[in-house]
Each structure stands twice: as C-alpha cells, then as structure tokens.
Structure 1
Amino acid sequence: MHDSWDFGPVQVQALPYIPGQRGEPQVHATLARWLQRAPEDPLPLQRDVHGRPRLLAPYDGFDAGWSHSGERLLLAVGREVVLGVDLERLRPRPRVLELARRFFAPAEADWLQALRPELREPEFVRLWCAKEAVLKAHGRGLAFGLHRLRFQAGDPGAPLRLKDCDPALGAAAEWQLHEWIPQDGYHAALAWRPRD
C-alpha cells in the first residue's frame, strides 16, 4: 500500500481519517510540512464564499484540497494548478441507475444502463469520483451540478476523458484526470488544470 503519489504538478498524501471529525484540522501538519512551515504556525488558509479552501500569500501559487471517506483521507497539493481530489470507500450502491438518471448527463446514464449489471456500480463510482474531483477544483462542488460536465467513457475500466462541460469550468481539454486505487476498498480521482 502506498501512502504518497507524484502526479507531476500535483502531490498526493494518504492519511488516516477519524470519522465524524472535520478533515481540515487533520491535514494541517502535513500541509505545513509540504509548505515548509512549522507545524505549530497557523496556515494561511481561508475558505471562499462557497467554502473552498484557498492558500493565501506567500503560498497563493499553490492549490490544496482533500477528501475523506471511511477511515482514509487524501491531501493533494499542486503548484500553478487548480486541483480537486475525491475519495470514495467502495460499498454496495443498489440504486446507481436511479442516481445516474437523476444527477448525471443523459449519455452517461445511458452508458451505465447498457453495461452488464455487475459492472454498473464500479463504473458509477468512477464517474462520480471524476465528476466530484473536477467540481471540487472549480470550487462549487456538488451544488454546481454533476450533469454540467460529461465524461467520455469507453470500455469499462478504460480511462475517462472529460468530453464537454459548462463554460464556467473552463475548456474540457485543459483538464487532466488521474484515477487510482489508493488501497483496497477505495477509489480515488484527482483532477487538475493550469491556473488561469
């Protein structure tokens, strides 16, 4: 099991998560170390009007985000990028088609429905993670709407590619997506694009 990953402009660290607690206090020491600050010093971190964390000067060239699920937390930090990360603990999701029809783009819901039943849940989780990672990077999260971006999905397990999205998210072609299994029972997605 790995605890850290290097995705070029973005570094990701896995941390234990204490369920029921806020993630932010649990990432402070690791984030301070990455920014070469003393752990006891307050981080220049502020949430915007939508609740997205932003690093302030002199670290405003960096972006950071985190996600927790189950007993794991992922912290991502990048320079000169806008990033979002999502982590999902794998568990039974018997209503994936209903959720996809309600929240995803119609073409994505159609694609899921055409899959063999045993493939629907894992592919649903992949789409959900990818969408949430992009929306977290944007800063509005799920409130912006999962249907406002559409991933091109091919064969099950094939890399996902952002096909089109609301103009507020920028150009679909600018987004990079990386998916991985950070440990058994979890799925993760990291999305980033160059900072404007």
Structure 2
Amino acid sequence: MTFDLIYPQSPMTWLPAPKDLNLLPDEVHVWRFHLDGTESELEHLALTLSSDELTRANRFYFPEHRQRFIAGRGMLRQILGSYLGIDPEQVKFDYEARGKPVLAEGLQHSGLLFNLSHSQNLALCAVNYTRQIGVDLECIRPMSDVEALAQRFFLAKEYDLMRSLPDDQKQKVFFRYWTCKEAYLKATGDGLAQLEQIEVALTPTEPARLQTSPAWSLLELVPDYNYVAALAVAGCGWELKCWQY
C-alpha cells in the first residue's frame, strides 16, 4: 500500500491576537505558545503561580522540565485572565478526579472551559464557553516500539492500517491516532485506560473522524513542523480561531 500525500502536510497560520480580544459563544480559540522563555520571563511567570504550582515545579529533577512547567502554567494563567478580566495570579483552579484542571468554583459562573497540552517546547491551550473541550499535542519522534504501542492501545483496524504503512509514515500516523484519541478523552475527563475504546477513522491522505461519538467534532491541527495535534469539541457549528501568544 502506497500513498502519494501525507495528511496533514504543513503548519497552520497562527495570527497575533487582536487587542480587543472577544470570545463569542460559537467560537473556539486555540493558542500556541513556546515554553522556552528567557530567565526574566520565567521569573515573571513564576510570580503568578500558586504555592501548590510552585511546589509541583520544584519537584522536577531537570531544570528544563521545571522551566517548561512554570512557562506553561504562567501562560495559561495569562490567557485565562485575559478572558476573565482578572490578573493572572487571581485565576484559581480546582482539579477533577484524574487531575484535570478546571476553573475554581468562584470562577465557574463565567462558563469558560479550557484545556492545555504541551510537548517538548511547544504548548496549545484551547478555550471556549460551555462546550466540553480537549486538545492534545505531540512532537513526532522516532520510537522503536511504535507498533507494539499501537497493538496495545489501538483498535485492530487502526493497528492494521498503521502496520501496513512504510516505515517513514508509521510514526506520524501513530501520533495522529494518539492525539485524536487523547483529545477526546481529555475533553470527557476519562483517562488513558479508555484509549483502546475510542475509534478514530483516518488515512495518510484524509483527515480524522471520530467514530465513537458522532455528536462530537474532531479537528486535526498542525501547530509546527514535526508536530501534530487534535482538538475535540462537544457538538458542531462552532468557528475556530488560532492565536499565537
């Protein structure tokens, strides 16, 4: 089996957000930002974090991982604060049973829902009102056990398709499957234990479709070279806007 084109092919266009940023009820905003900031930028972001977030940051053994956690949480606070009309340090989080962060009770009246994903030095944050939402991002990287992982976590038809591909295409298709499934599970709050129960239809030349829940929208994103991502949103009829932070 051979394919002439590989979907998706090239990075998307990410625009600077306007000064009068406004999130409409039928819109989904996805933000892209990098996690490798300067020392002064990281110090500024760290000042906005809560004590428990700083404790989590200090648990990382490698400085690179600690810095990326601080950048990710700090940027998330700045993005959410801009929608809520409050300072980043005033953003408060609660955590669901599986550790997914949500706005604390005092802020939930806004209806704002969000999800964050990061891989290597890149992160995506998806935001909207009232719709369950999930985003997942992966850097495409060589993995020697990619077929074994696909056999363990994917449905038989998904595994068979991936295994039939040339070696230079297997890695990308694996991560496309993974991000699509993970985006949906992050939106619903379910964990990786359910990964093999989520059916996704895709080919190297066609976009993904979520077969498990037709009432959901699934959209593949290309945030940068060597990255793939997926966005899962409850319902349909919404408009996507992509911003560069």
Q: Would you say same fold, with TM above 0.5? A: yes
2:150 equivalent in structure 1: 100
Distance change in 2, residues 1:156/1:128 (3 Å): same
2:27 equivalent in structure 1: 9
Which among 183, 188, 193 is matched to residue 229 of structure 2?
188
Q: Which has the higher contact order (CA 8 A, sep 6+)?
A: 2
Q: In structure 1, how many angstroms separate the alpha carbons of the residues matched to 2:83 and 2:224? A: 23
Cα displacement string for residues 1-60 of structure 1 (whole angstroms, at most 9, x for unaligned residues): 625699x531011112244133334411121112222234x2132111221112234434
Tell me the amino acid that sits aligned with residue 150 of structure 1: E
Task: Please show how residues 1-196 of structure 1 align to structure 2 within 5 Å.
Answer: 2=14, 9-18=27-36, 19-21=64-66, 22=69, 23-40=72-89, 42-55=90-103, 56-60=105-109, 61-142=111-192, 144-153=193-202, 155-164=203-212, 172-194=213-235
Number of matched pairs: 183
Give % identity. Answer: 32
Decide which structure has greater strand share. 1
Moved over 6 A (4+): none
Decide whether the 8 Å contact of 1:9 with 1:81 is kept in 2. no
What is the TM-score with the length of structure 1 in the denominator? 0.84
Tell me, which stretches of 5 or more residues in structure 1 are unaligned? 165-171
Decide which structure has greater helix share. 2
Q: In structure 2, how many angstroms separate the alpha carbons of the residues matched to 1:191 and 1:54? A: 17
* Structure 1 vs Structure 2 CA RMSD: 2.1
Decide whether the 8 Å contact of 2:133 with 2:231 is kept in 1. yes
What is the TM-score with the length of structure 2 in the denominator? 0.68
Tell me, which stretches of 5 or more residues in structure 2 are unaligned? 1-12, 18-22, 37-63, 236-245
Q: In structure 2, how many angstroms separate the alpha carbons of the residues matched to 1:26 and 1:187? A: 21
Tell me the amino acid that sits aligned with residue 142 of structure 2: P
- 1:185 deviates by 2.1
